[in-house]
Amino acid sequence: MNVVAIANQKGGVGKTTTAISLSAALAEAGQRVLLLDLDPQANATSGLGIEPDSEGSMYYPLIGEAKIKDKIIPTRIENLSIVPSGMDLAGVEIELARSDDHLTRLRKLLTALKRGKQYDYVILDTPPSLGVLMTTSLASADEVLIPLQCEWFGLEGLAKIVHIIEQIRESGAAPKLKLEGILMTMFDGRTNLSRQVVEEVSNYFPDQLYENVIPRTIRIGEAPSHGKTIFEHDPSGIGSRSYRAAAQEFLLRHSEVGGPIA
């Protein structure tokens, strides 16, 4: 079971859309996926058409009063389950900050989940901040996938998140934490800016940069408002094709035999 954190401390970069779309595409390909919504805004939860639920969130597992398995619910998508989020999760930041093991608490919970061998991938949708929930998410992950918008400000954010990953490695909480990849989002092939930003990232992170990019489309932005994945909202559109291609690239990077994603 691989634990993959989808992380970027900057909001509005397609982080939650990537968490939902990658999870759904991997599930389509036959992978057993659990999506953990660790953002109190609960956008991954509502984006799948599920009502945010404070009682059902990671709040109680993180304070030691429940197990993750008790909070897992199935989605309408075969092979995809979720632990939803709710506003109460915001309060866990204070509780975790008081504890000595705040960086490793989620990792311990996920280690127990791994023993059940029920999932191939656990995808963590992290908050767009550098708070305790973000750091504990990164420390619990095996690898990090960074969605990065094709804008110059995105490069500044990339430097920050890479620095945080290095700090978590050095802390000893997750010494093997890996930067799995950087997925460029909101790409506009009509502009020089998008191409220049992709080229700049390629210069510094040639092995981590995904070949596939996610375009800026209205359909991708619309899908969450309908509580649907992009594959349900616009099955044959460029957004669906791009996220399926990115998921296929993800599987190839992990040497999984999931078959082509239709």
All residues at 6 or more sequence positions from 206 whose CB lies less than 8 Å from its CB, including other chains: none
pLDDT at residue 261, as a whole number: 52
Q: Which domains does the chain have, with CATH numbers?
A: 2-253 (3.40.50.300)
Closest Cα to residue 70, out of 55, 92, 89?
55
Give the pLDDT of the chain (262 residues) as one tens digit per residue. Answer: 999 999 998 888 999 999 999 999 999 999 999 999 999 999 999 999 999 987 889 999 999 999 999 999 999 999 999 999 988 888 888 888 788 788 889 999 999 898 888 999 999 999 998 888 999 999 999 999 999 999 888 888 898 999 999 999 999 989 999 999 999 999 998 889 999 999 999 999 999 999 999 999 999 999 999 999 999 999 999 999 999 999 999 999 997 544 445 4
pLDDT at residue 157, as a whole number: 83
HEC string of the chain equals CEEEEECCCCCCCCHHHHHHHHHHHHHHCCCCEEEEECCCCCHHHHHCCCCCCCCCCCHHHHCCCCCHHHCCEECCCCCEEEECCCHHHHHHHHHHHCCCCCCCHHHHHHHHHHCCCCCCEEEEECCCCCCHHHHHHHHHCCEEEEEEECCHHHHHHHHHHHHHHHHHHHHCCCCCCEEEEEEEECECCCCHHHHHHHHHHHHHCCCCECCCCCECCHHHHHHHHHCCCHHHHCCCCHHHHHHHHHHHHHHHHCCCCCCCCC
pLDDT at residue 54, as a whole number: 73
pLDDT at residue 15, as a whole number: 95
pLDDT at residue 65, as a whole number: 92
pTM across the whole model: 0.93
pLDDT at residue 53, as a whole number: 81
All residues at 6 or more sequence positions from 234 whose CB lies less than 8 Å from its CB, including other chains: 219, 223, 240
pLDDT at residue 185, as a whole number: 96
